[in-house]
Amino acid sequence: MTRLSLLLAASLFTLNASALELAKYPQVFNAGNGISVTVAPSSDGKQALIQVSGINHPLDEVVLLSTISERGNDERDYTTTLNGSAYNMLVKRQGWGGERFQLYLPNTDGFELGFDETKSKEAKPANLLALYEQQKKKGIQDKLSRFDREQRVADFSAQLQQIDQDASKACGTTLVTEVEWNAIDDDKLKRLSVPSFCGEVVSQLANLCENGDEQKAAAKGLKTVQCSFDAELKLRESDAGLVFTTHEKAPNQGDFINAFLRNR
């Protein structure tokens, strides 16, 4: 890249950063245990800066730019990009008791949020915007938004291990789901929740086992589930385990697996 191109790129970045105009009044929420969430919407209501503070997490104190998507019925999603994928970090929903805000961070459970009127009045949108621009220049948000295949596989593996542990406890036997990670391309890892697909077999086993001792026979002799993605949905037995082929568009996968397990 030429020096002129670099200068133009820098000028464009500065223009884009300064083009974000925030509304006068931000919102601050309390998530409990000293965790707070600051939400500063843009003046046009289409974007918002979000900062989570007081939590031992890689996103602590990072100011992230989100896109606001209206869902109707005064519900909305605040979506940012993390590890190469769109991520709904904050959601607003309507319930019987009124509106509810929920915070979601990678590798954590969701947080119910309560509005903090005092801190909302004290919050300064200009300070949040200045910190966002400072962090942006350091590349903090860009690093978090880039796809990290190794981290994604590690996160998915941890989720599958938890699903396996829950199923093993329900069935009284050790069950392990094995995935051909090298056969799954980056696009699928970005778009799909692999544990939701590959963990469905042991999840269905757990459901059967929880229905009584008679149903636990479905898990008898099983130790492993080998999972991969292919052109169609298949499930077959192998030595001491099952071989499961899933497809992202195959319907009723849970019913298909459940029927197979009941009849094995």
> What is the tens place of the pLDDT at every residue in 46-60?
999 999 999 999 999
Q: Write the pLDDT tens digit of every residue in 142-159.
A: 999 999 999 999 999 999
Q: What is the mean pLDDT of residues 242-247?
A: 96
Based on the fold, state whether residues 107 and 184 are members of the same structural domain: no
Q: HSE of 96 in the Cβ direction (CA atoms, 13 Å)?
A: 0
Based on the fold, state whether residues 194 and 258 are members of the same structural domain: yes
Residue 207 lies in a domain: yes
pLDDT of residue 130: 97
% the chain with pLDDT above 90 = 82
CA angle 222-157-141, nearest 5°? Answer: 165
Assess contact for 202 and 164: CB atoms under 8 A.
yes
Lowest mean pLDDT across 4-8, 63-67, 236-240? 4-8
Based on the fold, state whether residues 28 and 136 are members of the same structural domain: yes
pLDDT band for position 7 (cuts 50, 70, 90):
very low
Domain-ending residue, one of 145, 166, 193: 145
Based on the fold, state whether residues 161 and 251 are members of the same structural domain: yes
pLDDT of residue 65: 98
Give the structural domain span for 178.
149-262
pLDDT band for position 6 (cuts 50, 70, 90):
very low
Based on the fold, state whether residues 140 and 154 are members of the same structural domain: no
pLDDT of residue 57: 96
**Structural domains counted in the chain:** 2
Q: Write the pLDDT tens digit of every residue in 78-112.
A: 999 999 999 999 999 998 888 999 999 998 989 99
Based on the fold, state whether residues 216 and 182 are members of the same structural domain: yes
pLDDT band for position 231 (cuts 50, 70, 90):
very high
Residue 52 lies in a domain: yes
Based on the fold, state whether residues 113 and 173 are members of the same structural domain: no
Report whether pLDDT(139) > 70.
yes
Residue 1 lies in a domain: no
Measuring CA to CA, how many Å separate 147 from each of 13, 141, 190, 192? 21, 12, 8, 14
Based on the fold, state whether residues 30 and 114 are members of the same structural domain: yes
Based on the fold, state whether residues 141 and 159 are members of the same structural domain: no
pLDDT of residue 8: 37
Highest mean predicted confidence (pLDDT) among 6-20, 120-134, 217-231: 120-134
Q: What is the mean pLDDT of residues 41-48?
A: 97
pLDDT of residue 264: 79
Based on the fold, state whether residues 172 and 233 are members of the same structural domain: yes
Domain-ending residue, one of 112, 145, 178: 145
Domain-ending residue, one of 128, 145, 162: 145
pLDDT band for position 10 (cuts 50, 70, 90):
very low
Residue 189 lies in a domain: yes
Report whether pLDDT(243) > 70.
yes
Q: Write the pLDDT tens digit of every residue in 159-189.
A: 999 999 999 999 999 999 999 999 999 999 9
Residue 13 lies in a domain: no
Residue 7 lies in a domain: no
Residue 116 lies in a domain: yes
CA angle 152-154-157, nearest 5°? Answer: 105
Average pLDDT, whole number, for the chain? Answer: 91
CATH classification of the domain holding 134: 2.40.160
pLDDT band for position 12 (cuts 50, 70, 90):
very low
Based on the fold, state whether residues 85 and 197 are members of the same structural domain: no
Based on the fold, state whether residues 168 and 111 are members of the same structural domain: no
Report whether pLDDT(71) > 70.
yes
Residue 153 lies in a domain: yes
Altogether, the residues listed in the chain come to a count of 264
